[in-house]
Chains A and B, each alone.
Chain A
Amino acid sequence: MYRYDEFDYQIVNERVAQFRGQVARRLSGELTEDEFKPLRLMNGVYLQLHAYMIRVAIPYGTLSSKQLRMLAHIGRKYDRGYGHFTTRQNLQFNWPALKDMPDLLHDLATVEMHAIQTSGNCIRNVTSDQYAGAAKDEIEDPRIVSEIIRQWSTFHPEFSFLPRKFKIAVSGTPDDRAAIRVHDIGIQIVRDGKDAIGYEIYVGGGLGRTPMIGKKIADFVPKEDLLAYLEAIMRVYNMYGRRDNIYKARIKILVHEIGAEEMKRQVDVEFAEIRKTGALHLPAEEVARIQAYFAPPGYETLPDESTELNKAVLADRDFANWVKSNVAAHKVPGYAIVNISLKPIGGTPGDCSSDQMDAVADIAEKYSFDELRVTHEQNLTLADVRKKDLPAVHAALKAAGLATANINLITDQIACPGLDYCALANARSIPLAQQISERFSDLDRQHDIGELKINTSGCINACGHHHVGHIGILGVDKKGVEYYQVTLGGAADEKTAIGDIVGPAFTEEQIVDAIETIVTTYLGLRQPGERFIDTYRRTGIDPFKESLYATH
């Protein structure tokens, strides 16, 4: 894991001091809320429906046990004993008081954490694959380049006042677990014909009210040139991104308006110029320095089969179900990847209590080299668990109420905060996710339905990724009444797709039944081994429309 050196510490501590001054100016009345807004937004402080909220950066989703314990502590000390993990691999505290924010940030800084660039029109926290370093088909650990980008983008003087927020995601495997094609820039680590490692670049993806899939503008950017290339994209965007209309200010609109070809041309021109100066040339020694932090942990040499595991699977049905859905293959024999669901039946997706955070920190310390990850699906991952420890890990998670066996199943939903917290919401998201979760609580049924992702947003901003849910639900407001519009066929993986709208929206009373109808329709149509998304891609929307809107 990356560790701060004296320079990193100094920058973060100076930021805490600066924000302390800004908060003091707001509290003394020297700054109006309007004047304070851009300042707090640079530091992850939002004003929600009921209170200020702070979004803590978890760069590329990686956390140490010590850091997670600090988050638990902050949850207790400044909030209501819990935190909320988000789709951008960050953590939000919904209730701290403004006057406490500087102290909260100070506490974070003691464990090498901060809230820099978690909001505002700047380059946001870089996200990546929660299986980084452990995935079987990984070309290179994506956290190395993510950390390099984190540093380059931190307080970038030219790109701190962009037309809009800007998000970068990195994937190191052909399987995309970082949703790179719905980010402003998606970076795919690739190998060229001669075995050199470099980057394929996608630009102009995004959700929001105009969802778009990123277009590839470079097949292979060499390692040493990545920052120069990124700086070129950012400069083109900063100069030509629209500023007349905030809904059209995203890079996806620029790419759409001028075309991917023209975008590529402009970026290439700028890249050639920036490259000439050599100032952003990335020295191999620096890459190696960062790489050393992400060296594989001290794996033991183990047989790939574990008799302890096999026995426990036969003996305990709960455990067997959990292994089936929550455990993934690891590149090292005898190890496994464990996913911890933050989607208990009837719970709020992504919420985690301080006590649970402490429990996970202990489990990670004991069984997974002291380290864990946050996923963009609002879950947690222990990347390096010995197979023979899986029964013990399961038991410990169960004791903490964290052993829900539903990863990638219908109750593993993404949901935005919606009307319960968000000032922009048109409809509730959390209670809807809870109702769907209750309706499909039967685990056998969930396993029978198989992989199915339901994503819900409370308004058109798409925080809940509804466009890329296999089933997407969007809250809409019709004359003051909450309605829900359904999309089908979205995906956020290597086959990224934006879902299709099925038809007229459903009322609050109808929506859960509508989801059930969609599921039943799928079960009737599927061929052996077909996931929901495969069936949908084969049959298209019509059979679903028919069953949803059939008049009797």
Chain B
Amino acid sequence: MQLIRNGKFVADDFATVGDEDALPDGAVIVSLERWQKERDALTARNTPLGVRLKSGQEPSAIADDLDKLKVVALEFPVYRNGRAYSYARLLRERHGYTGEVRAVGNVLRDQFHFMVRCGFDALEVADNITPEIWAESVGAFSLSYQPATDGREPVLSLRQRLAARASAREAV
């Protein structure tokens, strides 16, 4: 697995730890269950923390803790399961979360574009993904019809701006 963060291939500075594993030093990502059970001990460590949500575990479960979390990792159990697209948007748009939203699990190259649009800024991807593949995939579409989380201006508003500019030119 490699990590792409904000479009760059970087070393993962977080360790994802299982529920039974001993906690290593440094930044960790834990399950929702572990977080709920060991919240105080985890925050007392004073190292960056992340929580990993399985499909079916909604962001509302950690809504009150978001200021303590540097990473929220959302799991795609199989490519067909797109729940986490909604979760990512809710984290960003409803809960105002500004930390890292990381896509983990079955993260396929043909989905990068959609994931980035929904607010994922980090993706754990297979080792055969290269920067070229990333660029091709995330840039497959230079335009979007609908507003989403990435702040890209939708076609509808591009059209309105074009029309406004045209009528301003006429007025001159």
Contact = CB atoms under 8 A, between A and B. Distances in A.
Interface of A: 5, 7-8, 10-11, 14-15, 18, 21-22, 38-39, 121, 151-162, 227, 235, 238-239, 243, 273, 277, 279-280, 283, 285-286, 289
Interface stretch (B23-31, B46-54, B63-71, B138-146): B138-146
A159 B156 contact: no
Nearest to A246: B80
Contacts of A10: 142-143
Given A7-B159, A239-B58, A156 B81 contact: no
A158 B141 contact: no
A159 B58 CA distance: 17
A-B pairs with the 7 shortest C-beta distances?
Answer: A161-B82, A157-B117, A157-B114, A279-B147, A151-B145, A158-B85, A7-B155
A38 B79 contact: yes
Given A8-B155, A158-B89, A273-B94, 12 more contacts: A15-B141, A38-B79, A38-B80, A152-B146, A155-B114, A155-B144, A157-B113, A157-B144, A159-B85, A161-B80, A286-B159, A289-B163
B85 A14 contact: no
B130 to A, nearest CB: 13
Contact of B80 (A7, A121, A235): A121
Contacts of A155: 114, 141, 144-145
Contact of B156 (A14, A162, A239, A286): A286
Contacts of B147: 279-280
A502 B94 CA distance: 52
B82 A238 contact: yes
Interface in B123-171: 136, 140-148, 155-156, 158-160, 163
Contacts of A239: 58, 83, 86-87
A160 B82 contact: yes
A39 B87 CA distance: 23
B158 A7 contact: yes
A497 B146 CA distance: 35
Contacts of A7: 143, 155, 158-159
Contacts of B111: 161
Number of contact residues on B: which range applies? 35 or more
A273 B110 CA distance: 30
A161 B81 contact: yes
B55 interface: yes
Nearest to B139: A14
B93 interface: yes
Contacts of A121: 80, 82
A155 B152 CA distance: 14
B153 to A, nearest CB: 11
Contacts of B83: 238-239, 243
A156 B159 contact: no
A158 B150 CA distance: 12
Nearest to B120: A157
Given A39-B110, A273-B94, A157 B85 contact: yes
Contacts, number: 99
Interface of B: prevailing SS:
helix
Contacts of B74: none
Contacts of B4: none
A154 B154 CA distance: 12
B101 interface: no
Contacts of B58: 239
A282 to B, nearest CB: 8
Contacts of A277: 93
B72 interface: no
A527 B90 CA distance: 59
A69 B114 CA distance: 34
A11 B141 contact: yes
B62 interface: no
Contact of A157 (B79, B118, B143, B155): B118
Given A155-B144, A158-B118, A238-B86, A286 B160 contact: yes
Q: Specify which of A39, A151, A155, A235 lies most central, judged by the most chain B CB atoms within 10 Å of its CB.
A: A155
Given A160-B114, A277-B93, A243 B145 contact: no
A152 B144 CA distance: 9
A158 B145 contact: no
A466 to B, nearest CB: 28
Contacts of B94: 273
A154 B145 contact: yes
Given A7-B158, A18-B140, A285-B160, A235 B145 contact: no
A243 B81 contact: yes
Contacts of B108: 38
Interface string B87-115: 10100011000000000000010110111
A14 B140 contact: yes
A125 B87 CA distance: 25
Nearest to B58: A239
Contacts of A18: 140-141
B85 A238 contact: yes
B55 A243 contact: yes
Nearest to B136: A21
Nearest to A155: B141
Contacts of B113: 157
Contacts of B79: 38, 161
Nearest to A18: B140
Contacts of A280: 146-147
Given A11-B143, A18-B140, A158 B80 contact: no
Contacts of B81: 161, 243
A162 B82 contact: yes
20 contacts: A7-B159, A14-B141, A38-B80, A38-B110, A151-B146, A152-B145, A153-B146, A155-B141, A155-B144, A156-B145, A157-B114, A157-B115, A159-B82, A160-B82, A161-B85, A243-B81, A243-B83, A273-B94, A283-B156, A289-B159
A161 B86 CA distance: 10
Nearest to B110: A39
A30 to B, nearest CB: 10
A289 B164 CA distance: 13
Contacts of A243: 55, 80-81, 83
A22 B108 CA distance: 13
A277 B96 CA distance: 12
Contacts of A160: 82, 85, 114
A11 B143 CA distance: 6
